[in-house]
Structure 1
């Protein structure tokens, strides 16, 4: 078995990262972002204003935040149960997606969306943590890219389903789509569990744990909330969550309001997901080659420019802007943040650090739909969607500050080495 584990460390391309990527299609593309695609169909069947529908999006991310905050405590009390917890949360996520398809009012759908958010938070952190444990440190950027591009594939698939989910002739199309996505999620979780058992069951890393819990917690908070280390990175992650979720919640309703046929709106959405497939590979390679906040800031800046395509009133520029977002700043910030954290925190503290960083991300996603819904109801869909550019821009500026801090620390380390 040691030979098998060693071979996994030779490359980020493995069955583990492949199955993790399929799970991320469910965790990100199906369970969370498909809501923005299905919003017109849900509104047509259930009614409600965009502000009220935005609240349902916020409820989902409240569950997501709750999950990220609970996970470190759960891992601390059951440090050897990470793999069991991951299997359970992934299977339940697929089942709750199926359950949500049978909602008949806002209260039922809101409860399902909360539980889906909770379980997707568990799955996001645990799948990444388990998969990246099997990858050599210098290849974890590209491995993160492979895993996160599953989310782009999920976006692409939901876009292709547009004629059946948002077209008025298929009133309940979004329900059938969620059932199919939930079944796919259950099958993917079984596949991921099978390959993990086969490849890593006998690895010494499987049960590798850190020292006392109090020491681990102190290290985690010292790392994450120190302005001289990772604080600006995770605050950047917060503002990215705020900005990108506004765009992905209200972009399709904006296209529908323009009178664009559902087929074309779905193709634009799929184009974002298709571009994101390349984003995962390009972003992963970039962060492995230039592991810096400046690399992250470059993608975020281009993404904020892509959002501005909406203000041109041109379907072509709006679509091109969406593709630019998919290519450089949809998957890039999460995967780069994941990779940068993995490089800068100890192995035994990574799951807790990623969970707390994801809580910042989730907090931004909670505020985003509420803020976006308020802007949309007061000033229209175009202004609401465009507002996401401001928050993505703030995220880019904070990533630049983090890059500057990295540069100073590296220079200081070089001077210290020269003295020795």
Structure 2
């Protein structure tokens, strides 16, 4: 995202500071429940779920991959609805999907119902997240757009951090935790229904065409490749880190505390806009690729000490959230004419990678083991630091 946007929308009008704060808080909350809970928390409860249903590694990988496939099924729908009609509609649909999906997970009597719940929950961020790029461009003061986006994007960290203490309280009753998640998603959906601005009917006369041809922009190729590869490697961590720690340490409580640290560290993503403004897009990108890669690749080596486990969680949590914010800013620098379209496709590729990651890992783990899988994923992520960002995109903000 650039420091100053030129909105292509004829609806471009700004809210006052208090309205902007309310929008930011509501957006952060719905990202917390759709991304932080509905999409990423399956891995937190994986050991208990596996034990109750007697699931194999291959089946676990397929079910986990459904969360990301759900995102893929919804992301273009969310971007299309946002561009053609208004951002408010897909955002609220995303909240409803999170409620229904997590409710199905809580109730699931069979692995098939569990898989359906994981898929529906996975659609929620695809519907709710990309449209916020349009909301920010259309309705917030230009000088505050970086800050607003970074705070909303950091909602993932807040959601993950909230899930950890609840998991400790619920103990082995993972269904109770998912039921609480579903109730929270419903409440936050109602909050967003009140907080999100409606379309300015005086300025907008009807639906607008979605310019999909802008996705062919040659300067976006590096962005798209980076998003996909980053999705593949980080999905390994999100899906299997808790299981790896439980297996190697034999202490489920340490694994849950690890998750809490990961989420708290992710809250630092709210400072992503300032990092990019200060260090530039290219420098921040290379630093984050190495940081996240190191945290993934070294986790199997750090399990002997709690400090090592928590260090890996902190580096991954902060690095992941800031990197996703950076990818969003990068896409909005390129696709200024239709922010939600370019933004949506960038995160479509990120989630495509995150869908491939668990499925591929589920078949590799019986052959290579968890530790070797994490080593390989970490090296692949560090390799992203060699990617060169175009001068136009990497230029520092004035």
Which of 231, 236, 241 is the equivalent residue of 1:246? 236
Structure 2 residue aligned with 1:418: none
Task: Report the count of equivalent residues.
Answer: 383
Structure 1 residue aligned with 2:193: 193
Relative to structure 1, the CA distance from residue 132 to residue 74 in structure 2 (aligned partners, 3 Å threshold; closer, same or farther) is: closer
- Distance apart, 1:48 and its partner CA: 1.3
Which of 325, 342, 347 is the equivalent residue of 2:332? 342
Relative to structure 1, the CA distance from residue 204 to residue 231 in structure 2 (aligned partners, 3 Å threshold; closer, same or farther) is: farther
For 2:31, what is the secondary structure of its paired residue? Answer: helix
Cα-to-partner distance string for 1:279-313 (whole Å, 9 max, x where unaligned): x1332211233442332221121111122332424
Cα-to-partner distance string for 1:368-419 (whole Å, 9 max, x where unaligned): 0022222322222222233321232233333xx1155645xx69xxxxxxxx
For 1:48, what is the secondary structure of its paired residue? Answer: coil
**Aligned-residue RMSD, C-alpha:** 2.7
Cα distance in 1 for partners of 2:239, 2:150 equals 23
Asked whether 1:234 is paired with 2:234, we answer no
- Distance apart, 1:222 and its partner CA: 3.1
Relative to structure 1, the CA distance from residue 397 to residue 133 in structure 2 (aligned partners, 3 Å threshold; closer, same or farther) is: farther
- Distance apart, 1:240 and its partner CA: 0.8
Mark the runs of 5 or more structure 2 residues left unpaired by the alignment.
1-10
Structure 2 residue aligned with 1:283: 272
Mark the runs of 5 or more structure 1 residues left unpaired by the alignment.
412-420
Contact 1:309 1:320 in 2 (8 A): no
Contact 1:283 1:332 in 2 (8 A): yes
Counterparts of 1:281-360 in structure 2 under 5 Å?
Answer: 281-312=270-301, 313-315=303-305, 316-327=307-318, 329-347=319-337, 349-360=338-349
Cα distance in 2 for partners of 1:139, 1:396 equals 29
Structure 1 residue aligned with 2:4: none
Structure 2 residue aligned with 1:43: 50
Structure 2 residue aligned with 1:136: 141
Asked whether 1:82 is paired with 2:87, we answer yes
Cα distance in 1 for partners of 2:206, 2:293 equals 40
Structure 1 residue aligned with 2:6: none
Counterparts of 1:138-157 in structure 2 under 5 Å?
Answer: 138-157=143-162
Relative to structure 1, the CA distance from residue 82 to residue 148 in structure 2 (aligned partners, 3 Å threshold; closer, same or farther) is: closer
Cα-to-partner distance string for 1:119-152 (whole Å, 9 max, x where unaligned): 3311121244324533334433322221121110
Structure 1 residue aligned with 2:69: 62
Contact 1:291 1:340 in 2 (8 A): no
Relative to structure 1, the CA distance from residue 265 to residue 103 in structure 2 (aligned partners, 3 Å threshold; closer, same or farther) is: same
- Distance apart, 1:182 and its partner CA: 1.0
- Distance apart, 1:250 and its partner CA: 0.5
Relative to structure 1, the CA distance from residue 6 to residue 64 in structure 2 (aligned partners, 3 Å threshold; closer, same or farther) is: closer
Relative to structure 1, the CA distance from residue 282 to residue 208 in structure 2 (aligned partners, 3 Å threshold; closer, same or farther) is: farther
Contact 1:162 1:262 in 2 (8 A): no
- Distance apart, 1:90 and its partner CA: 1.5
Which of 240, 246, 261 is the equivalent residue of 2:251? 261
Relative to structure 1, the CA distance from residue 211 to residue 114 in structure 2 (aligned partners, 3 Å threshold; closer, same or farther) is: closer
- Distance apart, 1:157 and its partner CA: 1.5
Relative to structure 1, the CA distance from residue 108 to residue 6 in structure 2 (aligned partners, 3 Å threshold; closer, same or farther) is: closer
Structure 2 residue aligned with 1:414: none
Contact 2:297 2:377 in 1 (8 A): no
Contact 2:94 2:125 in 1 (8 A): yes
- Which one has the largest radius of gyration? 1
Which of 186, 201, 222 is the equivalent residue of 2:216? 222
Structure 2 residue aligned with 1:417: none
Cα distance in 2 for partners of 1:391, 1:133 equals 37
For 1:101, what is the secondary structure of its paired residue? Answer: helix
Cα distance in 2 for partners of 1:299, 1:396 equals 8
For 1:161, what is the secondary structure of its paired residue? Answer: helix
Structure 2 residue aligned with 1:120: 125
Contact 2:100 2:182 in 1 (8 A): yes
Contact 1:159 1:269 in 2 (8 A): yes
Instruction: Give the TM-score taking structure 1 as reference length.
Output: 0.83
Relative to structure 1, the CA distance from residue 188 to residue 71 in structure 2 (aligned partners, 3 Å threshold; closer, same or farther) is: closer
Cα distance in 2 for partners of 1:378, 1:262 equals 25
